[in-house]
Structure 1
Amino acid sequence: MTSTPTTARRSKITPEREQEFFDAVLEQLREHGYEALTMEGVAARASCGKSTLYRQWKTKPQLVAAALRANRQGTLVTVDTGTLAGDLREAARIAACTSGRDTRLMQALGHAVLSDAELQAALREALVEPELAAFAVMVERAVARGEITADHPAVEFLPAQLMGVLRIRPVLEGRDADAGYLLRFVEAAVLPSLGLTPPGTPGPTGTP
């Protein structure tokens, strides 16, 4: 019963105007962190009424999650190279496109990610679950092609490996996880863990 009015309201905001809202959110998030970010502050920066934001996104966590999702460049959903190794390399390239910006924004969220249940749920829905689903599809295709078995023990850790290395390199080395770094990680750690020997690498018997 309520879906039609909501749709009508949302249709009044152009993609360009919506991006202005998201830019205001990200600017405030980078400058002040999540706790200090307010709907009032975003509205003032975007020159709109606070009610406009609440009609569209209902809560601050939902607005922040939507802004972070819009900030992403590329998506794993469209990746399909024909092999699992190729898919994982392409996933690494996509992740590298926004690794620096995404890492800094996640750091700006601070401990709120762990302490705010509503924020956790919004981020999982907007950012995490779509990527987990994309990894699952990659694995399903690989199993169907006979590249790996469905019960391969390393499959469980694929998302944690690729998502984790994005966050930890800035902490360990003070540098973003760029494409070269992520591709080396995939070749040296991810593919071998799946039993997918990179091209040109000697196999167990010492032969290529």
Structure 2
Amino acid sequence: MLQSQPRLLTIEGGEGAGKSTVLSALRDALLADGFEVVSTREPGGTPLAERIRGLLLAAGDEPVHPTTELLLMFAARAQHVQQVVLPALARGAWVISDRFTDSSYAYQGAARGMDVGFIAELERRAVGIEPGLTLLLDLGVAHARERTRGRDLLDGAAPDRIERERDDFFERVRAGFLARAAQQPGRIRVIDASPDAATVAAAALAALATYREGLA
């Protein structure tokens, strides 16, 4: 049984959906209300987990087997949860994470074809918690490609190993996220990420406000 953490917020979605912008908006809103806020990301969030992130995203010569990818994701996540997430929650802070376990169900489960039961067992044993609220920024693959292409041109960054996947891979990722949202509508709120950044951020803030009212 996973323990729900009301002050753990996660932001999910495919590449180019605007997760960083939404995270900043949520963080600023909670800070303005006087809360301590820890903003973090997956894979990563600790020095060790960031090194694992480098292994996962580097485009090397050796193919990464889906099982290897999944286990590395959960190794980074276990470190992240134990070193960052749980200590912050224990002292009363809000934690906002750019990606969490739902990404493994979408990327390694729906897109890579890994067994969902295996993912759930890893989640139970290595993570043990789930967010109180997850915002799923939903964006069509073609639109996402346009955004990431423009972003890469601006900062000169080459696509990482996962960003180099074909469109059919990201269609499966998107379908996986939407399936998770349909299964857990109480926790996962779907936000249309196709409008401009300000509109998407406003929708995310409204979802957070509604969620916080429910906690009162």
Larger gyration radius, structure 1 or structure 2 = 1
Higher strand share: 2
TM-score, with structure 2 as normaliser: 0.34
Q: Which has the higher contact order (CA 8 A, sep 6+)?
A: 2
